[in-house]
Every structure is written in structure tokens, then in C-alpha cells.
Structure 1
Amino acid sequence: MRLVIFDVDGTLVDSQADILAAMAEAFAAVGERAPARADVLGIVGLSLDVAMQRLAPAADHGRMVAAYKDAYVALRAQTGAAQSSPLYPGAQEMLERLGAEPDVLLGVATGKSRRGLDKLLEAHGLDGVFVTQQVADFHPSKPNPSMLYQAMAEVGASKAQTVMIGDTSFDMEMAAAAGVPGFGVSWGYHPVKALHAAHTVADDFAALETALARHWRVGV
């Protein structure tokens, strides 16, 4: 058995437009100016409460989180999750190929809420693809390894059978903390130089599949 766990935002889907817009609303709700784009994308992957604390240490974080969630839902309702958070080119085909392998299980470990992930999977027709789904509602924020421990426990996978795929330093640090290889992707929200804890970094989905195949064949 092989367990492949994916981050979502910046790895499988490009949701930065809605993230930036919702964050602007969150800051407006507390009378603050929104931070720069790079600063906002730098906290993607963290749970919202932790992200707000980093971006605005002295603000009313509860109010900001509520405003962000309301804005995100409204933005998604305007265009639909499939358009507001589109899959990166090649993502769906890669998931289909991996999912067709009889000894591969797919999972998700995301800073999204349960509601947010459900809406996204439904919009992209990915219901039933991920056998284990870990969300921010029930875990400490990344890079705490809680999500990965729970995912492995749910499917009975060992650390040697598991990999984590993500675009941020938080994903790679979470993988390292859990004792599993972290496979970084270069097309997401953190620069490649921030993925120093990664086992390897792929530049596209084809390269990612090749790296996974090599990893399973050779081991670490």
C-alpha cells in the first residue's frame, strides 16, 4: 500500500484570487489596510486563526476570521468553486492515474475547513477520490503533524508507505515532523527556496509522478 497525501490550495487548485479578496475583506472589517499579496500568500496553508495572528498581531482575530469566511463563501457563490478555485492543468488527470493504481490511496491534508473542502471537491467532481480528508476544523495548524498522523492511522499506512505533497514550507515542515517524505511543487504560493525541508521539488505534474515512481522504486 502507498498513501499519497495532497495539500489543496496552491497544490491542486489555484485559489489565490479568492484568498486575496477575502483577506482584504477581513482587514476591512477591523479597519486595517490589507497586507501585500506576497505576505498573504505566505500564510496560505495555516489555519485561519493562526494566519490572522501572523498578519495582524494586534487585531480582533475572531472578527477577521468570521469576515474572511463570509467573504470567501460570497465570492464562491458568485462564480462557483470550479471557476473561483480552478484545478491546475494536469491535476485531475494525475489524480485519475494515481487513483487507478490498485495499491495507491489518496488523501488530503488542508488548512481549509470541512465545509470549504466539501464544496471544492463537489465542484470539481472529486467526491470519493480521497479516502482520508484532514481539515483545519479538527487539527492544530500546519506544520503540526497531527493531520498526517491521523491520515496514516485511518488507512493503516506506515510512515514508509506515506508521502506528503504540497507547495508551502508548512507542508514540508509538517511532513518532516511526521517522519514522512515531503514532495514540494514549484507552481504554488511559496518560493522554491522556502521548501528546504522537501525531499524533492517538482516543476509540473509529470515530474511529480516521475519523482513518486522513483521514490517507491528506490525508497529513501
Structure 2
Amino acid sequence: MAKRYDLIVFDWDGTLLDSAAAIVRSIQAASQDLGLPVPDDVRARHVIGLGLQDALAHAVPELPPCDYPRMVERYRHHYLSSDHELMLFDGVPAMIERLAQGGWFLGVATGKSRQGLDRALAHSGLGEYFDATRCADESFSKPHPAMLEALMEELVVEPARTLMIGDTTHDLQMAVNAGVDAVGVSYGAHPPEGLATVPSVACVDSLGALDRWLAQNA
């Protein structure tokens, strides 16, 4: 079967790594450290996928801009204290290896910092499979299309031959803004009813379903 896409771009947190709950807890703990109102789970989950400063500003609107560095420091303190315990979703390594061996270019577009993604790629053992990656501290934050545009330019792939996979509306809207197809995954940060508000070619509810969709459609 002929390939529909040449480049498959993944979000990281909540799409490949089961980290949404840890991010929520870290946002809430950082807010408590600074004596700010603690966002509920829904509000904290909604900002996952954005660049860290944008995420914290939206999750905790009471945060004065002058305190962004302190908030970022406290968030990183809480997240990094346990990030080594986070696990890839079951089946991710086999899926990524199959796609790499199948000849697709693989990329990552993430709200993580470059330091954070490099740390995650090394810990997961998946770094060797990705041809190019972009992070929020190197570009505009999602849903701006810059990260996808940079990946397509680097790998010389047209939008029509590119697929974005992510667990948030920010991922799907970035794809729309870049003119590329997207698949939403509802096992991460945003619920299926939220993902359904942004156009996509599919929405799947498990890693296994995503793997099967890619085998049949990518």
C-alpha cells in the first residue's frame, strides 16, 4: 500500500509519555508554593501542550508577570523530582520502531523545553528514531504553526504529506494552522468532546487504536 504521509509528527506529553497527571500535580504544587489560587484538574490539564510560561500564565491568571520565573522554577522542581518515574504508554516503543523501519520520517513537536525533551528522549531510549524535533523554547508556542513548519522545512516534506498526532486541541489547531492533517488521541490531557471541536482526520481512544490506524492509513 502506498504511503499517504512522509512525515509523522508526535506531541510528547500525553501522547507518547503518560505524564498528564504529573504535569497537573506540578502546576498545582507550584501554585501552592507561591501562595496563589490552585487551579483545578480541568484547568491545569487544559494548558498541557503549551509552552511552559504560556501554560502557567493561563492556568494561574492571578500570577503577576514578574513572578513567571519563580513559578517556572517551582514547576520544574516538582516535575523533575519524579519525571524519571514516568512511563511511555504501553506499545509506544514498538510502534515508533515499526514506523522508523517502515521509512517514515518521524518528528516531535512539544511544549517542553529543549533541555526537557532531550532528557525525556534519553530516558525513554527513543531518541535514535526521531529525525527532527522542535520545542516551545525554540519557537512560538502551540497552536502557532511554527514548529510544524520548521520540521517540514528541515525534512523537505510538504504539508499534504505530513501528519500531526497529539492529545490536545492545541496540537490539532497547530496542525490546522500549518495546513497538515491531524489525529487526536483522547487518552491524554484533553477529553474527546474537546478534541472534536477542532478538525482532524481521526480521533482514537488508545495507543493500540492509534497504532492500527497508522498501519492502515499512514
Does structure 2 conserve the Cα–Cα contact (< 8 Å) formed by 1:5 and 1:164?
Answer: yes
Measure how far apart 1:20 and its partner are.
2.5
Q: What does 1:1-220 align with in structure 2 at a 5 Å threshold?
A: 2-59=6-63, 60-76=67-83, 81=84, 83=85, 85-102=86-103, 104-196=104-196, 197-216=199-218
One-letter identity of the residue aligned with 2:38: A
Say which is worse superposed, 197-206 or 31-40, in terms of deviation.
Answer: 197-206
Counterparts of 1:11 and 1:212 in 2: how far apart (Å)?
14
Runs of 4+ in 1 over 4 A off after TM superposition: none
Q: TM-score, normalised by structure 2?
A: 0.90
Counterparts of 1:159 and 1:17 in 2: how far apart (Å)?
32
Output one character per residue of 1:111-154: Cα deviation in whole Å (capped at 9) or x when no partner: 01111111111111112111111111111110000000000011
Measure how far apart 1:213 and its partner are.
4.3
Does structure 2 conserve the Cα–Cα contact (< 8 Å) formed by 1:148 and 1:175?
Answer: yes
One-letter identity of the residue aligned with 1:99: A
- In structure 2, stretches of 5+ residues that fail to align are none
3-state SS of 2:89 partner: coil
3-state SS of 1:128 partner: helix
Counterparts of 2:24 and 2:158 in 1: how far apart (Å)?
37
One-letter identity of the residue aligned with 1:190: H
Output one character per residue of 1:92-126: Cα deviation in whole Å (capped at 9) or x when no partner: 11111111112x11100000111111111111111
3-state SS of 1:24 partner: helix
Q: CA RMSD in A?
A: 1.6
Say which is worse superposed, 194-203 or 137-146, in terms of deviation.
Answer: 194-203
Does structure 2 conserve the Cα–Cα contact (< 8 Å) formed by 1:27 and 1:64?
Answer: yes
Say which is worse superposed, 172-181 or 127-136, in terms of deviation.
Answer: 127-136
Counterparts of 1:209 and 1:27 in 2: how far apart (Å)?
37
Say which is worse superposed, 32-41 or 54-63, in terms of deviation.
Answer: 54-63
Does structure 2 conserve the Cα–Cα contact (< 8 Å) formed by 1:29 and 1:63?
Answer: no
Q: TM-score, normalised by structure 1?
A: 0.89
One-letter identity of the residue aligned with 1:110: T
Give the count of matched residue pairs: 209
